[in-house]
């Protein structure tokens, strides 16, 4: 949270220092009061510079200066309102969540987190400022998601009607999003050594490391080309992988694939449509979240204690109802139903896959806090119809979300106290 009004009034950044000829230099000033927060002119100028730089990079015509200032200030006001809401809700960004967000951003640029941070600082950027901006965005996203999603309702009739449209039919056709890495091995290099190198990278990806980060970590003389091939129907998949890709599961990697002196690795990032038979796990869990009154270590210790109590004979479901902070599952005894691949966060999926049927896991940490889970059953399930309906619902939800978001933002703007200086 930035400075509250009571602090600002004591600091009065309009306090000045004398300069030549008795003039006064204004260091900063408040340009807007937003409920219990303020927006400083320096913040507006900093954001305006960023906006103008972005406009220049996109090579589009900028709006008139007064319009740009008004739009930027309006955005800062809305951000302030939402960040204050996040503070009232007690939303916190844990270090693991921040590290995951930075790693994802680095991966999108084909870099490891270390490489990304090094390049950022070499170009004059600040990693601390980046973390602060990411944290603010994550808090705002959570606030928006929690408030806007509850305004959206999609019924079965809407889904049925959508699936009969051309958009609906296209949505359920089999399409695949492939990530592709290609290593061309020159005659001067040992081919088997290159192949072994790709196998090692492939194992790291199969163990759950992010594809782009693993590929970016490969150094001379093993530099890859390739990238995200985007969503493609079967007819547009490169012939080298055409027969393999339809047999792959979402989140699966395959390689090395040899073609002459080229070594390939592919990763199925997304699969839509077509017949889908997937492994499912019936699982329940207890979530213990760190808070202002409970450290992460205390949360871990409580999770461990709850496991011991469950193993000693206490009912897991009753423990979940009493202790779990997962609002969606606590009253169901922690039951998450049948979990499909990719449905849970990676940390949860890794532990779930390693836990035998009937066993209770050791405490483990995810971006949401500390968990223990119990695997109740496993099965292979034809989920084609369910997946198609879920995709249709997601499509309709996303289409409505933006509409509802605009309405909600206007509502909170109208309800807030805003005094523009």
| Per-residue pLDDT tens over the stretch 130-177 | 999 999 999 999 999 999 999 999 999 999 999 999 888 888 888 899
Backbone φ/ψ region at 67: left (φ over 0), alpha (ψ -120 to 50), beta: alpha
Rounded-to-integer distance, Cα 119 and Cα 139, Å: 26
In 258-272, which positions are buried (b, 16+ CB within 10 angstroms) versus exposed (e)? eeeeebbbbbbbebb
**Residue 183 contacts residue 224 (beta carbons within 8 Å):** yes
Q: Where in the chain is the domain with CATH 3.10.50.40?
A: 174-272, 277-381
> Cβ contacts of residue 398 below 8 Å, gap of 6+?
none
What's the CATH number for 1-76? 1.10.4030.10
For residue 152, the number of C-alpha atoms closer than 13 Å in the C-beta half-sphere is 24
Topology of domain 174-272, CATH? Chitinase A; domain 3 (3.10.50)
Rounded-to-integer distance, Cα 294 and Cα 351, Å: 24
Q: Where in the chain is the domain with CATH 1.10.4030.10?
A: 1-76
- pLDDT tens digits along 327-370: 889 999 999 999 988 889 999 999 999 999 999 999 999 999 99
Beta bridge partners of 268: 178
The CATH class, in words, for 277-381 is: alpha beta
Residue ranges in 259-341 assigned as alpha helix (H): 296-311, 316-323, 327-330
Given this model, what pLDDT does residue 25 score? 54
Other CB atoms within 10 A of residue 315 CB: 11
- pLDDT tens digits along 27-70: 789 999 999 999 999 999 999 998 998 898 888 888 999 999 99
13 pLDDT more than 50: no
């Amino acid at each position: 949270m930035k400075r509250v009004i009571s602090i600002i009034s004591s600091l009065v950044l309009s306090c000045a220092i004398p300069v030549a000829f008795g003039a006064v230099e204004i260091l900063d000033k408040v340009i807007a009061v937003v409920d219990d927060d303020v927006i400083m002119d320096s913040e507006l100028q900093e954001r305006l510079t960023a906006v103008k730089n972005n406009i220049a990079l996109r090579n589009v015509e900028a709006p008139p200066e007064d319009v740009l200032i008004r739009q930027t200030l309006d955005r800062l006001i809305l951000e302030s309102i939402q960040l204050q809401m996040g503070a009232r809700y007690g939303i916190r960004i844990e270090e693991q969540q921040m590290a995951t967000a930075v790693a994802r951003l680095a991966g999108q640029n084909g870099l490891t987190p270390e490489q990304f941070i090094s390049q950022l600082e070499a170009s004059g950027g600040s990693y601390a400022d980046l973390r602060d901006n990411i944290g603010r965005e994550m808090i705002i996203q959570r606030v928006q998601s929690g408030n806007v999603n509850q305004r959206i309702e999609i019924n079965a009739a809407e889904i049925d009607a959508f699936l009969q449209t051309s958009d609906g039919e296209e949505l359920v056709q089999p399409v695949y999003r492939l990530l592709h890495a290609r290593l061309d091995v020159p005659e001067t290099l040992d081919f088997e050594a290159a192949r072994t190198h790709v196998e090692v990278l492939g194992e790291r990806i199969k163990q759950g490391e992010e594809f782009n980060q693993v590929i970016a970590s490969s150094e001379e003389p093993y530099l890859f080309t390739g990238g995200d091939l985007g969503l493609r129907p079967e007819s547009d998949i490169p012939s080298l992988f055409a027969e393999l890709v339809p047999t792959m599961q979402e989140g699966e990697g395959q390689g090395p694939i040899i073609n002459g002196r080229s070594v390939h690795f592919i990763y199925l990032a997304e699969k839509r449509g077509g017949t889908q038979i997937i492994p499912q796990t019936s699982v329940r869990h207890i979530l213990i979240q760190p808070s202002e009154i409970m450290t992460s270590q205390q949360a871990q210790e409580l999770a461990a204690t709850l496991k011991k109590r469950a193993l000693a004979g206490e009912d897991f479901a009753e423990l979940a109802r009493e202790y779990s902070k997962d609002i969606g599952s606590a009253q169901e005894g922690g039951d998450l139903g049948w979990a499909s691949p990719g449905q849970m966060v990676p940390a949860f999926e890794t532990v779930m896959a390693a836990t035998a049927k009937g066993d209770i896991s050791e405490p483990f940490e995810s971006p949401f806090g500390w968990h223990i889970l119990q695997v109740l059953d496993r099965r292979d399930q034809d989920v084609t119809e369910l997946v198609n309906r879920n995709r249709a619902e997601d499509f309709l939800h996303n289409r409505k979300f933006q509409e509802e978001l605009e309405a909600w933002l206007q509502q909170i703007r109208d309800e807030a106290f805003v005094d523009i200086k």
